[in-house]
Homo-oligomer: A and B are copies of this chain.
Amino acid sequence: MKIRIGSIGLGRLGYEHAKNLAYFIQGAELAALCDIDAERLRSVSAELGVKKTYSGFAKMCSDPDIDAVTIVSPSAFHTEHIRIALDSGKHVFVEKPLDVTVEKCREAERIVEAHPDKVFMIGFMRRYDHSYRKAKEKIDNGDIGRIILIRSYTQDPVSAIESTLKFAPNSGGQFLDMSVHDADLFRWFTGGQRPRKLWAIGGCFAYPQYRDWNDGDNVSALIQYEDETMAFLFAGRAAAHGSNVETEIIGTKGALRIGAVGTDSLLEVMSEHGVCRECYGDFVARWHDAYIAELTEFVRCIQEGRKADVTVYDGTAALETVYRCKYSFERGEMVSFRD
C-alpha cells in the first residue's frame, strides 16, 4: 500500500524532497504540494505530475487522501506545522532544525508525545548516509575504543555564495542552519552525551554583510561533553573546492574519518595542478542517496508501524547545542549548560 504524502515548502531542499518522493521513494506517492508562492507551486506540481496543490498547510492536512506530510517550511514555522499535521492525524517528517528556540522545541516534544501512534522523524540525513552509517557501526562495535574527540566541518561552496547570502537573513545563522547537523552527529556518535560547556567564535572573513545579521561567514565551536568527550565544529560558507562535509572521530583505539577526501566520484585527474580529486558541487549532490534513504525509512516506519530512530528529543538536543553556540558567539563568552 502506497503512503500518500503531502509536502510543504518548495525551496531548494523542499523541491529535492518532493522530487525524491515523486520518483525515488519506494512505497511513497507524492499526493499533494503546498507553498505560498503560487507560481512555484504551479510549476513544480506540473513538473512532478502532482494533482493536488494547496496554499495553506492546514487545508492540506485536512485532506483525507493524505497519510503523511514532509515539512520543509521555514524553521520558525516547524512547531506550528508539526502541531497542525499531527492533530490532523498525519505522520510527520520535518526538516532540521526542529525549530529556532529551545522553548519551541520543547513544545514540539509535547505535541509529538501527545500522538504516540504517529511516526515522527527529523531530517538528520547524515545518519542515513552510507559512510556515516559505517562509521557508526564501527564505533558501536568498539573498534575505536572510547571516543576522545569528534571534529566535524560543514562547508558550503563559494559557487553558491549568492543564493546563500540571499537566504542568510532568515536562515537562523550558521550555527542553527549548518552546525545543527554536526551537533546531531556528536549526539549520535557519543550515544547521547550531553554538553557541559562550550565556546563559540567566528568572524566575517570574506563577507562583511554577515555582521548586520549578528553572524559570521565562518564560525567554530569547542564543546566539552559531560563525560569529557571533546567536540570541535566548524562551519564555513565559501569553500573554494566545493561542498565539503567532513567528520573525524578519534578514539582510544583508533580513529575514523568520513569525507576527508571529499570527492563526488572515484575519479582522479592528473594535470598541471597535480593529482586532483574533484569535490561535490553542492549539498544536493553530496546527500542525494541519504535524502532518499531517510524518506524511505520514514515511509517504512509508517508501513511497518515502527518509530524512527531519530526522535524529537534529538531535534531539541541538537538545537539546544547550536543555540548556545550562537549565544556564546554573540556574547563572546563561554557557556555552561548547567546554568
Contacts and interface: CB of A to CB of B under 8 A. Distances in A.
Contact of A270 (B134, B240, B259, B275): B240
B241 A270 contact: yes
Contacts of A267: 131, 134-135, 256-258
A125 interface: no
B255 A232 contact: no
Q: Which of A260, A272, A332 counts the most chain B CB atoms within 10 A? A: A272
A222 B218 CA distance: 14
A206 B252 CA distance: 6
**Contact residues of A: prevailing secondary structure:** strand
Given A130-B265, A199-B222, A267-B258, A275 B228 contact: no
A137 B70 CA distance: 37
Nearest to A230: B220
Interface in A61-110: none
A44 B16 CA distance: 33
Interface string A220-261: 111010001110101010111110000000101111111111
Contacts of A138: 269
A276 B274 CA distance: 6
Contacts of A242: 274
Given A202-B228, A222-B201, A252-B205, A234 B149 contact: yes
Contact of A260 (B26, B202, B260, B264): B260
A270 B252 contact: no
A53 B264 CA distance: 40
Given A218-B149, A266-B259, A274 B277 contact: yes
Contact of A263 (B146, B203, B232, B274): B274
A148 interface: yes
A252 B238 contact: yes
B273 A145 contact: no
A23 interface: yes
A253 B250 CA distance: 28
A254 B241 contact: yes
B272 A268 contact: no
A271 interface: yes
Given A205-B146, A230-B202, A236-B250, A275 B276 contact: yes
Contact of A239 (B222, B228, B255): B255
A270 B258 contact: no
Contacts of A259: 266
A266 to B, nearest CB: 4
A238 B229 CA distance: 16
A20 B306 CA distance: 25
A230 B232 CA distance: 12
| 6 pairs of A and B residues whose beta carbons are closest in the complex | A203-B228, A222-B222, A255-B270, A131-B265, A276-B276, A241-B270
Interface of A: 23-24, 26, 130-131, 134-135, 138, 143, 145-146, 148-149, 151, 197, 199, 201-203, 205-206, 218, 220-222, 224, 228-230, 232, 234, 236, 238-242, 250, 252-279, 332-334
11 contacts: A134-B265, A134-B278, A135-B267, A149-B220, A218-B250, A222-B232, A260-B260, A260-B266, A263-B266, A271-B273, A273-B273
